[in-house]
Amino acid sequence: MVTEILKIDAYAPDISKIKKASQIIKEGALVAFPTETVYGLGADALNPVACAKIFQAKKRPLEDPLIVHIADKQDLFKVAREVDKITLDLIGEFWPGPLTLVLKKQEAIPDIVTGGLDTVAVRMPNYKIALSLIKEAKTPVAAPSANLFGRPSPTSAQHVLEDLDGKIDLVIDGGSANIGVESTIVDLTREPFSILRPGGIGIEELRRIIPQIEFYKKDGILSAGMYPRHYAPNAKILIVEGNGKTQVEKVKDLAREFDLRGYRFGILAKFENKDRYGDFNVKLFGPGNDAVLCAANLFSALRDFDQDQVDVIIAEGVKEEGLGAAIMDRLRRASVVSEKDV
């Protein structure tokens, strides 16, 4: 299969191009497309065969359910049942946007989308290309991130091609996904309501609607998906938490040690520390006080280290507030060496 690349303007999408892409979805094939969080790999959510192709292309385990994307709040009722006031309050506040809700599913949603569960994850993205693609396809679109399973999520069409070239029909090149980490997932099917995965919407914002909401934790690990090792580059990641001078000194100690041992390594650093590490291979993800920028650059920095073929990445941790919680969650998962480690 040859993967076609279709360039579409993110601010003024050309409708004839969108129609071409949506036709591919209607025909049961796969289209990768940008959203405000990361690039998604889309298929008709009501077509089980099309959805199966997602699992095949990504090498994703079948028990890991997909998020269904809609272009109109009203379409929520086609995907989920028992939509109550809390749900409506949340979508009134945060949709379109990086918030995924887990709700009871409608019968029309095939088992392959939900991993056989009676619940479904659904969101309305805040990105013109994604919204018009879904609208033109006239069906909800199941779309996980458009990467190979376990790899860092793609924030550009180029990243998608690195993982999936030749395995999918079309990728829409619509620029860089601007948030850069995935949506926050909230489970509304079990009380107390909980956050299954931290993401684009912070817990502080959600507490305006659900004051008692907490992160769902199992054995101390945030529990989005069942996979501890996730979002991972080829290199091993070591996270150095903290901030300021002590953090920099710890990073330097590790760097010197790796250097002595002859390892190939890189340092993922905050802007303010860019001159602290001399000639070592340093990539910057954002200023420590701007989690938004750090999130936007995180996955592409990890992929850049893979291009450099480093064995180890020493990553400076960030403050766990707002998007910072999502960044630390992704770094921790990416740093798990093997599933057995946890």
- Which of 102, 129, 240, 318: binder of ligand AMP (CB under 6 A)? 102
Q: Does residue 152 have a cis peptide bond before it, meaning omega lies within 30 degrees of 0? A: no
Mutual angle of helices 291-307 and 323-335, in 10-degree steps = 20
Site for ligand AMP in 139-178 (CB under 6 A): 144-145
CA 339 to chain centre: 20
CB 196 within 8 A of CB 186: yes
What is the bridge-based pairing of β-strands 99-105 and 119-123? antiparallel
Span of 14-22, 48-56, 115-123, 263-271 interacting with ligand AMP by CB under 6 A: 115-123
CA 248 to chain centre: 28
Angle at 284 between CA 280 and CA 290, to 5 degrees: 150
Q: Is 240 near ligand AMP (CB under 6 A)?
A: no
In the complex, which residue's CB is closest to Mg ion? 145
Span of 45-53, 113-121, 306-314, 334-342 interacting with ligand AMP by CB under 6 A: 113-121
Q: Is 37 near Mg ion (CB under 5 A)?
A: no
- Which of 182, 231, 248, 299: binder of ligand AMP (CB under 6 A)? 182
What single-letter amino acid sits at 283?
K
Residue number with CB closer to ligand AMP (102 or 201):
102
Q: How far is the CB of 20 from ligand AMP (least distance, A)?
A: 24
Q: How far apart are CA 66 and CA 12, in angstroms?
A: 28
45 binds, among Mg ion, ligand AMP, none (CB under 5 to 8 A by kind): none
Q: How far apart are CA 268 and CA 283, in angstroms?
A: 5
Residue number with CB closer to ligand AMP (65 or 266):
65
Q: How far apart are CA 312 and CA 22, in angstroms?
A: 41
185 binds, among ligand AMP, Mg ion, none (CB under 5 to 8 A by kind): ligand AMP
Q: How far apart are CA 242 and CA 105, in angstroms?
A: 42
- Which of 34, 152, 174, 225: binder of ligand AMP (CB under 6 A)? 225
Tokens of 11: 């601010």
What single-letter amino acid sits at 152?
P
Residue number with CB closer to ligand AMP (222 or 313):
222
Q: How far is the CB of 118 from ligand AMP (least distance, A)?
A: 8
Site for Mg ion in 136-155 (CB under 5 A): 144-145
CB 146 within 8 A of CB 292: no
Helix, strand, or coil here: 184? strand
Q: How far is the CB of 211 from Mg ion (least distance, A)?
A: 29
Binding mask 68-87 for ligand AMP (x = CB under 6 A): --------------------
Span of 64-72, 79-87, 171-179, 307-315 interacting with ligand AMP by CB under 6 A: 64-72
342 binds, among Mg ion, ligand AMP, none (CB under 5 to 8 A by kind): none
Q: How far apart are the first and last CA of the chain?
A: 38
> Residue 145 gets which letter from DSSP?
B
Query: Which stretches of the chain bind ligand AMP, using CB under 6 A?
Result: 64-67, 102, 114, 117, 119-121, 144-145, 182, 185, 196-197, 224-225
Query: Which stretches of the chain bind Mg ion, using CB under 5 A?
Result: 144-145
